[in-house]
Every structure is written in structure tokens, then in C-alpha cells.
Structure 1
Amino acid sequence: MAGYDPEKDKTLMEWKCEETGLMLSIHQYAGGEAKLQIGPRVLKKKDGTDRAPSKAGRLSMEDVMWIYDIIDEVKDELADLVGPE
């Protein structure tokens, strides 16, 4: 069995919370089912450039409220990609 192939991993949609750096994204691997990923977190350096991505870790209330605000859009996008079950 072959290992992970980054060429087969596609990012279909992406959202980023500008305040906390948390990212949500929809990915699809090798034509499989589209799935939601929470994280990574991409914070800013003092000079305004992006730092290296880090694990999302524990979510703050600000993170939760941001997810709450966009969850219907995320759900609709994922449902369109997955199709009826």
C-alpha cells in the first residue's frame, strides 16, 4: 500500500479568521469524500507576514463565535460537494 501523496490532496474551499488565525477548509483526497478540516492556525509576525502554521489547539470563545457565524456557509459548501446520502 502506498503512502500519502500530496499531489492527490486538494483544497476545495478555505476560510480564515483574521482575528485569531484559525482556518477551516474543505479537502478531498484522491477523489474521495470531501471533508472539513479545523486548523491550522496561522498567526501574524510583528512585521505583518504570516508565521509558520501551527495546530489549532484549543478554541477560544472568539474562535467558536467565528465558526458559529460561518457554519451555514460551510455546511452548504460541504453538502454541495458531498451530495445527497
Structure 2
Amino acid sequence: MPFEPEKDKLLKEWKCEETGLIVSINQYANGQPKVQIGPRILKKQDGTDRAPAKAGRLSMEDMSWLYDIIDEIRDELAARVRPE
């Protein structure tokens, strides 16, 4: 079955302003919502956003930010996941 972009839904998103890392909760069609780490949106010298890039390896700043919001992400995901 080919990927159909119109079935891919962004449910919630968090962005680290210092590093550009994005963490989101996404759902494809009727599947279970899942957490995605990445992409990373970096800034150009003029202050505008560059094209999205892979998250790649996480820095200490990324890890600290993720640690600070992980309970919020878990609670948001738990509220959206259907029991199996």
C-alpha cells in the first residue's frame, strides 16, 4: 500500500527554539498516534527558517529540552492512544 500524504495527520508539536529540534505526535489514517523526533528547522543568517533537516544526533541542549517536556509528551500521547 503506497503512502498517502493526505492520511498523515499532525496532532501536536513542540519546537526547541535553541536547537530547532521538533518533536510531534502524528497519526497515519486510523493507526495509533506515535511520537516523532525530528526534523530540525535551523535558522539562516537573516533569521528565516531553512528547509527541514534530519534530527540527526541529539546534543546536550536537545536532551535537556526533551527531558523537560517528556512528561507532557507522554500525557498527550496517552490521552490519544486507544487501548489494545
Query: 2:37 aligns to what?
Result: 38
Number of residue pairs matched?
Answer: 84
Give the TM-score normalised by the residue count of structure 1.
Answer: 0.95
State the alpha-carbon separation in 2 of the partners of residues 84 and 74 from structure 1. Answer: 18
Deviations 1:2-48 (CA, angstroms, capped at 9, x unpaired) = 30000000000000000000000000000110000000000011111
Structure 1 unpaired stretches of 5+:
none
Q: How do 1:5-84 residues align onto structure 2 when only pairs under 5 Å count? A: 5-84=4-83
Three-state SS of the structure 2 residue aligned to 1:38 is strand
- How large is the RMSD of aligned CA atoms in angstroms? 0.9
Three-state SS of the structure 1 residue aligned to 2:26 is strand
Displaced runs of 4 or more, over 4 A:
none
Identity of aligned residues (%): 71
Structure 2 unpaired stretches of 5+:
none
State the alpha-carbon separation in 2 of the partners of residues 20 and 84 from structure 1. Answer: 34
